[in-house]
Amino acid sequence: MSETVASIQTWLAVPMDRDVSEAIERLRRAPDVQQVAVMPDVHLSADVCIGVVVATSTLIYPQAVGGDIGCGMLAVALDVEAAALRSPRVAGQVLAAVSRAVPPCRRNRGEVLSQPGELSSVSLSNESLESVRRREGPIEFGTLGSGNHFIEMQAGDDGRLWLMVHSGSRALGQAIRDHHLARAQPVTGGLRALEAVSDAGADYLNDASWARRFADASRHAIAGQLGHVLAGALGARVCWETLITTDHNHVMLERHGGRDLWVHRKGAMSARLGESGVLPGSMGTLSFHIEGRGIEEALCSSAHGAGRALSRTAARGKVTEREFRKQMEGVWYDSRRAAKLRDEAPSAYKDIRAVLRAQRDLVKVTRTLRPVLNYKGV
Protein backbone atom coordinates (compact mmCIF):
# COMPACT_ATOMS: atom_id res chain seq x y z
CA MET A 1 0.00 0.00 0.00
CA SER A 2 1.39 3.39 -0.97
CA GLU A 3 1.96 5.96 1.75
CA THR A 4 -0.60 8.75 1.96
CA VAL A 5 0.94 12.21 2.28
CA ALA A 6 -1.23 15.09 3.46
CA SER A 7 -1.58 18.28 1.47
CA ILE A 8 0.40 21.22 2.83
CA GLN A 9 0.14 24.97 2.41
CA THR A 10 2.68 27.43 3.78
CA TRP A 11 2.69 31.14 4.60
CA LEU A 12 6.30 31.93 5.39
CA ALA A 13 7.98 35.12 6.57
CA VAL A 14 11.41 33.52 6.16
CA PRO A 15 12.47 30.16 4.67
CA MET A 16 12.06 27.19 6.99
CA ASP A 17 15.29 25.83 8.36
CA ARG A 18 16.10 22.17 7.89
CA ASP A 19 14.97 20.97 11.32
CA VAL A 20 11.59 22.66 10.96
CA SER A 21 11.11 21.35 7.42
CA GLU A 22 11.95 17.79 8.46
CA ALA A 23 9.60 17.93 11.48
CA ILE A 24 6.72 19.12 9.30
CA GLU A 25 7.43 16.46 6.68
CA ARG A 26 7.22 13.76 9.38
CA LEU A 27 3.94 15.24 10.55
CA ARG A 28 2.29 15.31 7.13
CA ARG A 29 3.13 11.62 6.66
CA ALA A 30 1.60 10.60 9.98
CA PRO A 31 -1.54 8.39 9.92
CA ASP A 32 -4.84 10.14 9.20
CA VAL A 33 -3.28 13.58 8.73
CA GLN A 34 -5.40 15.13 5.99
CA GLN A 35 -4.07 18.67 5.73
CA VAL A 36 -1.28 20.80 7.18
CA ALA A 37 -1.06 24.60 7.19
CA VAL A 38 2.18 26.28 8.23
CA MET A 39 1.95 29.79 9.63
CA PRO A 40 4.64 32.49 9.19
CA ASP A 41 5.62 32.36 12.89
CA VAL A 42 6.59 28.67 12.60
CA HIS A 43 9.54 27.55 14.69
CA LEU A 44 10.93 24.35 16.15
CA SER A 45 9.39 22.78 19.22
CA ALA A 46 9.17 19.32 20.73
CA ASP A 47 7.34 16.75 18.54
CA VAL A 48 5.24 19.25 16.55
CA CYS A 49 6.44 22.71 15.54
CA ILE A 50 4.80 25.84 16.90
CA GLY A 51 2.91 27.73 14.22
CA VAL A 52 1.37 24.64 12.60
CA VAL A 53 -2.25 23.63 11.97
CA VAL A 54 -3.10 19.95 11.46
CA ALA A 55 -6.41 18.44 10.34
CA THR A 56 -7.35 14.78 10.87
CA SER A 57 -10.55 12.82 10.37
CA THR A 58 -10.45 10.17 13.13
CA LEU A 59 -7.27 10.55 15.19
CA ILE A 60 -6.36 13.07 17.89
CA TYR A 61 -2.69 14.07 18.29
CA PRO A 62 -2.10 15.62 21.75
CA GLN A 63 1.40 16.69 20.68
CA ALA A 64 -0.18 18.86 17.96
CA VAL A 65 -1.83 20.87 20.75
CA GLY A 66 1.05 20.84 23.22
CA GLY A 67 1.14 21.17 26.99
CA ASP A 68 -0.07 24.73 27.44
CA ILE A 69 -3.60 23.85 26.36
CA GLY A 70 -5.76 26.94 25.89
CA CYS A 71 -2.85 29.37 26.00
CA GLY A 72 -4.04 32.57 24.40
CA MET A 73 -4.53 36.29 24.35
CA LEU A 74 -6.92 38.79 25.92
CA ALA A 75 -7.12 42.44 24.88
CA VAL A 76 -9.35 45.11 26.37
CA ALA A 77 -9.37 48.91 26.31
CA LEU A 78 -9.35 51.35 29.21
CA ASP A 79 -11.05 54.73 29.34
CA VAL A 80 -7.80 56.73 29.61
CA GLU A 81 -5.08 57.79 27.20
CA ALA A 82 -1.78 55.92 27.09
CA ALA A 83 -0.15 59.22 28.01
CA ALA A 84 -1.32 58.53 31.57
CA LEU A 85 1.75 56.26 31.84
CA ARG A 86 4.21 58.89 30.63
CA SER A 87 5.60 59.61 34.10
CA PRO A 88 8.43 57.34 35.33
CA ARG A 89 7.00 57.56 38.84
CA VAL A 90 3.54 56.41 37.77
CA ALA A 91 4.95 53.68 35.51
CA GLY A 92 7.07 52.38 38.38
CA GLN A 93 4.07 52.33 40.69
CA VAL A 94 2.04 50.41 38.11
CA LEU A 95 4.82 47.86 37.51
CA ALA A 96 5.18 47.24 41.24
CA ALA A 97 1.42 46.90 41.70
CA VAL A 98 1.12 44.53 38.72
CA SER A 99 3.80 42.24 40.14
CA ARG A 100 1.91 42.07 43.44
CA ALA A 101 -1.52 41.56 41.85
CA VAL A 102 -0.49 38.89 39.31
CA PRO A 103 2.19 36.46 40.52
CA PRO A 104 4.13 34.68 37.78
CA CYS A 105 3.99 31.25 39.41
CA ARG A 106 1.67 30.61 42.36
CA ARG A 107 -0.54 32.49 44.75
CA ASN A 108 -0.48 32.12 48.49
CA ARG A 109 -3.38 29.89 49.47
CA GLY A 110 -4.84 32.72 51.50
CA GLU A 111 -4.94 34.97 48.40
CA VAL A 112 -6.54 32.71 45.78
CA LEU A 113 -9.12 34.12 43.38
CA SER A 114 -12.64 32.78 42.88
CA GLN A 115 -13.08 30.55 39.85
CA PRO A 116 -16.24 30.42 37.74
CA GLY A 117 -18.64 27.71 38.86
CA GLU A 118 -18.57 26.08 35.44
CA LEU A 119 -14.96 25.00 36.05
CA SER A 120 -15.92 22.94 39.09
CA SER A 121 -19.04 21.51 37.46
CA VAL A 122 -16.98 19.37 35.05
CA SER A 123 -14.93 16.42 36.28
CA LEU A 124 -11.60 15.51 34.73
CA SER A 125 -11.24 11.98 33.42
CA ASN A 126 -8.86 10.59 36.01
CA GLU A 127 -8.39 10.89 39.76
CA SER A 128 -4.71 11.77 39.34
CA LEU A 129 -5.73 14.74 37.20
CA GLU A 130 -8.39 15.69 39.73
CA SER A 131 -5.68 15.64 42.36
CA VAL A 132 -3.54 18.04 40.32
CA ARG A 133 -6.58 20.27 39.84
CA ARG A 134 -7.31 20.39 43.57
CA ARG A 135 -3.68 21.00 44.44
CA GLU A 136 -2.53 23.38 41.70
CA GLY A 137 -5.72 24.87 40.28
CA PRO A 138 -6.53 27.35 43.07
CA ILE A 139 -2.98 28.66 43.48
CA GLU A 140 -2.23 28.91 39.74
CA PHE A 141 -5.55 30.43 38.66
CA GLY A 142 -4.99 34.07 37.75
CA THR A 143 -1.20 33.71 37.55
CA LEU A 144 0.86 34.65 34.53
CA GLY A 145 3.49 31.99 33.97
CA SER A 146 7.03 32.60 32.76
CA GLY A 147 8.77 32.50 29.38
CA ASN A 148 6.90 34.48 26.73
CA HIS A 149 3.77 35.02 28.83
CA PHE A 150 3.24 38.69 29.55
CA ILE A 151 1.08 41.62 30.59
CA GLU A 152 1.40 44.70 28.43
CA MET A 153 -0.10 48.19 28.42
CA GLN A 154 -0.29 49.55 24.88
CA ALA A 155 -1.18 52.69 22.99
CA GLY A 156 -3.72 52.19 20.22
CA ASP A 157 -3.84 54.09 16.93
CA ASP A 158 -5.90 56.81 18.59
CA GLY A 159 -3.72 57.05 21.71
CA ARG A 160 -6.10 55.06 23.89
CA LEU A 161 -4.63 52.75 26.52
CA TRP A 162 -5.15 49.04 25.92
CA LEU A 163 -4.34 46.02 28.05
CA MET A 164 -3.02 42.75 26.58
CA VAL A 165 -2.60 39.50 28.54
CA HIS A 166 -0.88 36.33 27.31
CA SER A 167 -1.20 33.29 29.58
CA GLY A 168 -2.33 29.66 29.54
CA SER A 169 -3.46 26.67 31.57
CA ARG A 170 -0.25 26.48 33.62
CA ALA A 171 0.61 23.10 35.22
CA LEU A 172 -2.86 21.68 34.56
CA GLY A 173 -2.49 21.66 30.78
CA GLN A 174 0.86 19.94 31.03
CA ALA A 175 -0.53 17.30 33.38
CA ILE A 176 -3.42 16.64 31.00
CA ARG A 177 -1.09 16.29 28.01
CA ASP A 178 1.30 13.96 29.83
CA HIS A 179 -1.48 11.77 31.22
CA HIS A 180 -3.11 11.24 27.85
CA LEU A 181 0.13 10.81 25.92
CA ALA A 182 0.89 7.86 28.19
CA ARG A 183 -2.42 6.28 27.04
CA ALA A 184 -1.97 7.13 23.34
CA GLN A 185 -0.69 4.69 20.74
CA PRO A 186 2.69 5.23 19.06
CA VAL A 187 2.27 5.86 15.34
CA THR A 188 5.31 7.26 13.56
CA GLY A 189 8.14 9.73 13.99
CA GLY A 190 7.76 9.87 17.77
CA LEU A 191 4.10 10.86 17.54
CA ARG A 192 1.28 9.27 19.53
CA ALA A 193 -2.42 9.31 18.71
CA LEU A 194 -5.84 8.61 20.20
CA GLU A 195 -8.96 7.47 18.35
CA ALA A 196 -11.40 10.36 18.68
CA VAL A 197 -14.39 8.03 19.13
CA SER A 198 -12.67 5.84 21.75
CA ASP A 199 -13.04 6.24 25.50
CA ALA A 200 -9.42 7.44 25.65
CA GLY A 201 -10.06 10.00 22.93
CA ALA A 202 -13.25 11.25 24.58
CA ASP A 203 -11.40 11.59 27.89
CA TYR A 204 -8.66 13.69 26.31
CA LEU A 205 -11.16 15.93 24.52
CA ASN A 206 -13.08 16.44 27.78
CA ASP A 207 -9.96 17.35 29.72
CA ALA A 208 -8.49 19.55 26.99
CA SER A 209 -11.78 21.42 26.69
CA TRP A 210 -11.72 22.03 30.44
CA ALA A 211 -8.13 23.31 30.26
CA ARG A 212 -9.16 25.81 27.56
CA ARG A 213 -11.93 27.13 29.79
CA PHE A 214 -9.59 27.32 32.78
CA ALA A 215 -7.03 29.30 30.76
CA ASP A 216 -9.66 31.67 29.40
CA ALA A 217 -11.17 32.27 32.84
CA SER A 218 -7.68 32.80 34.26
CA ARG A 219 -6.95 35.53 31.69
CA HIS A 220 -10.22 37.23 32.57
CA ALA A 221 -9.27 37.06 36.25
CA ILE A 222 -5.86 38.58 35.51
CA ALA A 223 -7.51 41.41 33.57
CA GLY A 224 -9.88 41.96 36.48
CA GLN A 225 -6.97 42.24 38.91
CA LEU A 226 -5.21 44.66 36.57
CA GLY A 227 -8.40 46.68 36.40
CA HIS A 228 -8.12 47.25 40.16
CA VAL A 229 -4.45 48.22 39.78
CA LEU A 230 -5.15 50.74 37.02
CA ALA A 231 -8.19 52.15 38.78
CA GLY A 232 -6.02 52.94 41.78
CA ALA A 233 -3.00 54.22 39.85
CA LEU A 234 -4.66 56.02 36.93
CA GLY A 235 -8.33 56.29 37.80
CA ALA A 236 -8.95 54.09 34.75
CA ARG A 237 -11.92 51.84 34.04
CA VAL A 238 -11.79 48.61 32.03
CA CYS A 239 -14.16 48.87 29.06
CA TRP A 240 -15.27 45.25 28.87
CA GLU A 241 -17.40 45.91 25.79
CA THR A 242 -14.12 46.15 23.79
CA LEU A 243 -12.93 42.68 24.87
CA ILE A 244 -11.12 40.46 22.35
CA THR A 245 -10.13 36.98 23.46
CA THR A 246 -8.65 34.06 21.56
CA ASP A 247 -6.48 31.03 22.19
CA HIS A 248 -3.89 29.27 20.06
CA ASN A 249 -3.29 25.76 21.51
CA HIS A 250 -6.37 23.60 21.01
CA VAL A 251 -8.18 20.93 19.00
CA MET A 252 -11.70 21.43 17.67
CA LEU A 253 -14.10 19.60 15.37
CA GLU A 254 -14.65 21.95 12.43
CA ARG A 255 -16.22 21.80 8.99
CA HIS A 256 -13.76 22.29 6.14
CA GLY A 257 -14.17 21.36 2.49
CA GLY A 258 -17.47 19.69 3.22
CA ARG A 259 -15.90 17.38 5.83
CA ASP A 260 -15.84 17.30 9.61
CA LEU A 261 -12.19 17.45 10.64
CA TRP A 262 -10.33 17.57 13.94
CA VAL A 263 -8.33 20.78 13.60
CA HIS A 264 -5.30 20.95 15.88
CA ARG A 265 -3.68 24.34 16.35
CA LYS A 266 -0.33 24.65 18.12
CA GLY A 267 0.76 28.26 18.16
CA ALA A 268 -1.94 29.27 15.67
CA MET A 269 -5.29 30.95 16.22
CA SER A 270 -8.63 30.52 14.51
CA ALA A 271 -9.25 33.17 11.84
CA ARG A 272 -12.69 32.50 10.42
CA LEU A 273 -14.32 35.18 8.31
CA GLY A 274 -14.88 38.21 10.53
CA GLU A 275 -13.41 36.55 13.64
CA SER A 276 -11.40 38.93 15.84
CA GLY A 277 -7.94 38.05 17.07
CA VAL A 278 -4.86 39.40 18.81
CA LEU A 279 -1.43 39.19 17.17
CA PRO A 280 1.41 40.23 19.51
CA GLY A 281 4.89 41.17 18.40
CA SER A 282 7.63 41.08 21.02
CA MET A 283 7.98 42.99 24.27
CA GLY A 284 9.50 45.94 22.41
CA THR A 285 7.63 45.96 19.11
CA LEU A 286 4.17 46.59 17.70
CA SER A 287 1.17 44.32 18.21
CA PHE A 288 -2.03 44.13 16.18
CA HIS A 289 -5.72 43.39 16.48
CA ILE A 290 -6.81 41.47 13.42
CA GLU A 291 -9.88 40.06 11.72
CA GLY A 292 -9.92 36.69 9.97
CA ARG A 293 -10.59 36.30 6.25
CA GLY A 294 -11.73 32.65 6.55
CA ILE A 295 -9.23 31.11 4.12
CA GLU A 296 -9.93 27.37 3.85
CA GLU A 297 -6.45 26.52 2.54
CA ALA A 298 -5.13 27.69 5.92
CA LEU A 299 -7.90 25.84 7.78
CA CYS A 300 -9.19 29.33 8.68
CA SER A 301 -6.12 30.04 10.80
CA SER A 302 -3.54 32.72 11.53
CA ALA A 303 -0.14 33.07 13.14
CA HIS A 304 -0.35 33.61 16.89
CA GLY A 305 2.51 36.10 17.12
CA ALA A 306 5.90 36.97 15.74
CA GLY A 307 7.42 33.56 16.46
CA ARG A 308 10.94 32.98 17.70
CA ALA A 309 13.89 33.70 15.41
CA LEU A 310 16.42 32.58 18.03
CA SER A 311 16.15 29.79 20.58
CA ARG A 312 16.36 30.88 24.19
CA THR A 313 19.90 29.54 24.43
CA ALA A 314 20.95 31.35 21.25
CA ALA A 315 19.36 34.59 22.42
CA ARG A 316 21.14 34.47 25.77
CA GLY A 317 24.42 33.93 23.92
CA LYS A 318 23.86 36.70 21.39
CA VAL A 319 21.97 39.46 23.21
CA THR A 320 23.97 41.29 25.86
CA GLU A 321 22.26 43.11 28.71
CA ARG A 322 23.35 46.41 27.15
CA GLU A 323 21.82 45.42 23.81
CA PHE A 324 18.60 44.33 25.50
CA ARG A 325 18.28 47.69 27.23
CA LYS A 326 18.83 49.44 23.90
CA GLN A 327 16.13 47.37 22.21
CA MET A 328 13.68 48.21 24.99
CA GLU A 329 14.14 51.99 24.84
CA GLY A 330 10.80 53.76 25.09
CA VAL A 331 9.04 50.87 26.91
CA TRP A 332 8.66 50.73 30.69
CA TYR A 333 9.73 47.41 32.25
CA ASP A 334 11.46 46.21 35.41
CA SER A 335 15.03 47.08 34.48
CA ARG A 336 16.33 45.06 37.43
CA ARG A 337 15.34 41.96 35.46
CA ALA A 338 17.14 42.96 32.26
CA ALA A 339 19.79 40.25 32.49
CA LYS A 340 17.16 37.56 32.97
CA LEU A 341 14.95 38.86 30.15
CA ARG A 342 17.57 38.69 27.39
CA ASP A 343 16.05 35.54 25.88
CA GLU A 344 12.83 37.54 25.40
CA ALA A 345 14.59 40.43 23.63
CA PRO A 346 12.80 41.83 20.57
CA SER A 347 15.63 40.57 18.35
CA ALA A 348 14.93 36.99 19.53
CA TYR A 349 11.67 37.17 17.55
CA LYS A 350 10.81 37.48 13.89
CA ASP A 351 9.79 40.81 12.43
CA ILE A 352 6.06 41.02 13.17
CA ARG A 353 5.48 43.16 10.06
CA ALA A 354 7.08 40.44 7.93
CA VAL A 355 4.74 37.92 9.55
CA LEU A 356 1.77 40.11 8.67
CA ARG A 357 2.91 40.54 5.08
CA ALA A 358 3.33 36.77 4.71
CA GLN A 359 -0.27 36.16 5.80
CA ARG A 360 -1.98 39.23 4.33
CA ASP A 361 -4.47 36.95 2.59
CA LEU A 362 -5.40 35.30 5.93
CA VAL A 363 -6.21 38.34 8.10
CA LYS A 364 -6.66 42.08 7.96
CA VAL A 365 -5.40 44.51 10.59
CA THR A 366 -8.04 46.46 12.51
CA ARG A 367 -5.79 48.18 15.06
CA THR A 368 -2.05 48.78 15.55
CA LEU A 369 -0.71 49.03 19.09
CA ARG A 370 2.59 50.33 20.45
CA PRO A 371 4.00 48.90 23.71
CA VAL A 372 4.10 51.33 26.62
CA LEU A 373 4.69 49.08 29.66
CA ASN A 374 5.58 45.39 29.73
CA TYR A 375 5.66 42.90 32.61
CA LYS A 376 7.02 39.35 32.32
CA GLY A 377 7.61 36.76 34.99
CA VAL A 378 11.09 35.24 35.10
- Residue 220 is among the residues annotated as catalytic for this protein: no
Catalytic position from the list 43, 180, 289, 304? 304
Phi and psi, residue 259, nearest 5°: -125, 150
Contact 311, 347 (CB under 8 A): no
Round to whole Å and give the CA distance between 203 and 299: 25
- 273 dihedral zone (left: phi>0; alpha: psi -120 to 50; beta): beta
Q: Which residues form the catalytic set?
A: 304
